[in-house]
Every structure is written in C-alpha cells, then in structure tokens.
Amino acid sequence: MSTILVIDDNPAVATALEVLFSLRDFQTICAESPPDGLAILARQRVDVVIQDMNFRADTTSGEDGAALFRTIRARFPELPVILLTAWTHLESAVELVKAGAADYLAKPWDDHKLLTTVHNLVELSETRRELARRRSDEDRRRTELEQRYDLRGAVFADPAMERMIALACQVARADVPVLVTGPNGAGKEKIAEIVQANSAVREAPFVTLNCGALPSELIEAELFGAEIGAYTGASRAREGKFESADGGTLLLDEIGNLSSNGQMKLLRVLETGRFERLGSNRERQVKVRVISATNADLPAMIRAGTFREDLYYRLNTIELRVPPLAQRADDILPLARHFLAAGKQLTADAREALRRHTWPGNVRELKNALQRAALLAAGPEITVADLALPAASPVPSPSPSDDTIDRAAIEAALARAGGVIAQAATELGLSRQALYRRMEKVGIPRE
C-alpha cells in the first residue's frame, strides 16, 4: 500500500484528504506543521507528499510552504510532492514545480484530478525506486563477477550481456559441452575464452579449429588426425586437434561447416571420447571439453537436413547466446573507449553517431572503425567524418538470439517478473514493444 503524507495546518483539509484516499486504498498520514512533516519523513517511507503553501505563522505569502518544499527537495530529491495552493499563488507554485518532481493543484481541488496526479506520481516514484534498486543490484553483481572470475578483459555494460557472461562463468566449471551462438563479430570467441579460462582445465591445452576456413575433407583430418596416404597429399602421419587438446579444451569455431561424415565422427567422440585417425583402424581415446561456436542457424540447418539433430543436442547442453551489438546499445561507448587509441578522444557528435549506427558487423566492425579513425584523425579528436560510418546501415536481419526466444523463455521471464512486462522485457534484452510482438507470435495473451 502506498503512503501519502499530508502536511496542512487545516484539520478540515487533512480529514477530507484522508477520507478521499482511504477509499482508494492509500494510507494517509497527517502532519500539522512543516517540522512535524519533516520528522515523519525522516522516520518512515512515504510515497507522495501533499503540502499546503500557507501555515499559521505566515498565512498568505506562501513563503512557509516554499521553504518546506525546498527542504523536502534537498533531503529527498526523488520524493514526489503535490503543492496545494490558493488561486492567488498559482504562479509561485508553478515556479517551484519547475524545480523538479512535483505538481500543484489549486484549492479547492478537484478530487478526480488530485487522485490522478497522486496515481501518476506514485507510479513514477515506484519506477524510480525500482530502477535505483536494480542499478545497485547490477553494480553488486558486476563487482562479484569481476572478483571471482577471469573475464578475459571483456568489456560490457549491458545487463543482457552481463547475465550471459555470468552464465558463462557459472557453467565454465561443469564438464559439459557449451555452444556459443550469435552473429558475426559479436564476441563468440571472447565468450569461449571466458569459459575456458574459468574451467577446471584452464591450465591444460586450449586448441582452436576454425571449421569455416577449411574444405570439409581437411576439417576431418585436422580434427581426428590422419595416417600417411589417408587423403591426397597426406604425406606424413599427423595428430589431430582432439589429440592435441587431450585433457584440455577444444574450440570448434563455425561448427555449421562440418560435413555429415565429420558430424557423425564428432558425435561419437563427444559420446565416447573415442575416434580413429583418417586411414587408421586404431581406436584412440581422449578427454576433451568441447566448446563450439557458430553464427549459423543450426535449428534451420536441422530442418533442412544439413545438420544432425542428435549432434546439436550434444553440443548445446548449455547454449550461450551473444546478442548483436545493436541489441545492447549500452555496450557501444564502453567498447569504443576500450578500442580507442591512447591519447585520442571522441567528439560528442562522434559518440552520438556510434550509438546510432546499427553495427551489422558488431564488435569487430566497431573495433575496425575506431582503428581506422585513429589513423585518419589529424589531431587528438576523432570526429564523425573520421569514423566514416556507412550512411544508412541496412536494417539488421532478425538475429538468432531474438528468434530463439521461444514461448517457454518468455513464460519463464514473465513468471519471474510477476507479469510485469517491462521487467520481463529487460530480462530478455528486448524492448517492451518487441516483447509484445513476440508474445503475439508465440500465442501468449496480453492478459
């Protein structure tokens, strides 16, 4: 229940307001003088103050009321205040209202208007309190994260990114496969590094294979090794990445490029730890933590018959979705500062342009833009022109992270948020409108 403090020396006014609000489920406390009112504010939580402008000591000038208002503002900058004033003093009330979170009504007041004003201000104060609480929670969680884990110098400020990194750290210790998904240049490899750096095998080998950079026959030889003559040009026996990574971690980048034969073999290693080199019958056994990464839409590849469903479920025991940079606008400037060459500064316009750009190439594009700008900039200042951002970036295609927010994820977020849409949207890294659209799409009623 919200609490309203009425500070008015006229008992008739106090009683009328008390009756009005008790019918609307507000708790009303009355104070007869400014000192009494301030004492109550010091003692307990109040959501809205309704104060008179004239008190006995000085009945007409409104100076007592103005002084009270200023004191409340100074001590409780966020507390909403409604000034009740005579028509003759409206002007000075307006001046005060301009000073911040407040409203005014002329006496005699209109009940309906007063209730609406109170409702609006209560909502405002709840939102502010909630924001402040969330911010301090975030700060605390962030400090904890930085103290407990090696974040590999990752820069982030967006809550969605923070949650994802916290999850990466949390699952790092478990001996389960991790799949990192997200668009080009969003930071998938960075996240994979965080998982490795906080795992139980962080001191053991960390081997990476980029499946996107090799033709499919060679990927298999790279992964599993090959004996002499196993394929054209295999002039000597070689060990594969699984052997080199034994006891440690193997990062399979661009996993969507693996051939169907390679997928089958990979599935077997993941299930049994066993495999053979190409051109050999000798079974080998390894213990490897596999992290895979992709910007491909694996579920779509499964539907198209080009990726094995059973392998997918093996790889994605834990899926870490890296949101596109455009969906975590709060990360843009911190990242830009991070990539900024020493001694260089961004002009205000340049910062604005960075925030507005849609970043189809994500963090990598941002990094390149800043490196290029640092070379082009004549002086210490980097201007919009130096950034040379493409004038109109294409509208980014719906990202996999957005598309993969399914009904269950939305329902879970709504449940955690107690049905508060704005809060669920923040948790999912969506705007309120975007969440409504997704709810409609997956058939969750708006209430």
Output 296 or 417, the one with its CB closest to ligand ATP. Answer: 296
Beta carbon of residue 364, minimum distance to ligand ATP (angstroms, whole number): 4
Per the structure block, which two tokens stand in for 18? Answer: 């008390």
Q: Which of 64, 158, 189, 227 binds Mg ion (CB under 5 A)?
A: 189
Output 212 or 279, the one with its CB closest to ligand ATP. Answer: 212
> 395: which DSSP letter?
P
Beta carbon of residue 139, minimum distance to ligand ATP (angstroms, whole number): 18
Task: Please name the residues in contact with 396: beta carbons below 8 A apart, sequence gap of 6 or more.
Answer: 183, 324, 326, 358, 359, 360
Residue 393's nearest CA partner among 356, 347, 367, 424 is 356
Count helices and strands in the chain by DSSP H and E runs: 20, 14
| Whole-number Cα distances in Å, 59 to 7, 109, 265 | 15, 19, 90
Interface mask toward ligand ATP for 335-354; x: CB under 6 A: ---x----------------
Q: Which of 38, 102, 154, 195 binds ligand ATP (CB under 6 A)?
A: 154
Dmax over Cα atoms in the chain, in whole Å?
Answer: 104
Beta carbon of residue 331, minimum distance to ligand ATP (angstroms, whole number): 7
Handedness of CA 26, 30, 36, 38 (dihedral sign): positive
Interface mask toward Mg ion for 134-173; x: CB under 5 A: ----------------------------------------
Element (H, E) at 115: helix 111-148
Angle 79-81-84 from CA coordinates, rounded to 5°? 170
Output 120 or 184, the one with its CB closest to ligand ATP. Answer: 184
Task: Please name the residues in contact with 446: beta carbons below 8 A apart, sequence gap of 6 or more.
Answer: 436, 439, 440
Output 60 or 397, the one with its CB closest to ligand ATP. Answer: 397
Beta carbon of residue 429, minimum distance to ligand ATP (angstroms, whole number): 15
Residue 259's nearest CA partner among 292, 295, 212 is 212
3-class SS at 82? strand
Q: Which of 7, 46, 363, 405 binds ligand ATP (CB under 6 A)?
A: 363
Beta carbon of residue 360, minimum distance to ligand ATP (angstroms, whole number): 12
Q: Which of 92, 164, 188, 350 binds ligand ATP (CB under 6 A)?
A: 188
Neighbours of 330 (CB within 10 A): 15
Beta carbon of residue 396, minimum distance to ligand ATP (angstroms, whole number): 14
Our finding on whether 182 is near ligand ATP (CB under 6 A) is yes
Q: Which residue is nearest to Mg ion (CB)?
A: 189
Q: Which residue is nearest to ligand ATP (CB)?
A: 187
Our finding on whether 184 is near ligand ATP (CB under 6 A) is yes
Bridge-based pairing of strands 48-52 and 3-7 is parallel
Interface mask toward ligand ATP for 384-413; x: CB under 6 A: ------------------------------
> 127: which DSSP letter?
H
Neighbours of 434 (CB within 10 A): 15
Our finding on whether 365 is near Mg ion (CB under 5 A) is no
Beta carbon of residue 366, minimum distance to ligand ATP (angstroms, whole number): 8
Output 39 or 213, the one with its CB closest to Mg ion. Answer: 213
Q: Which of 101, 106, 155, 444 binds ligand ATP (CB under 6 A)?
A: 155
Give the interface with ligand ATP as residue ranges (CB under 6 A). 154-156, 182, 184-190, 295, 338, 363-364, 367
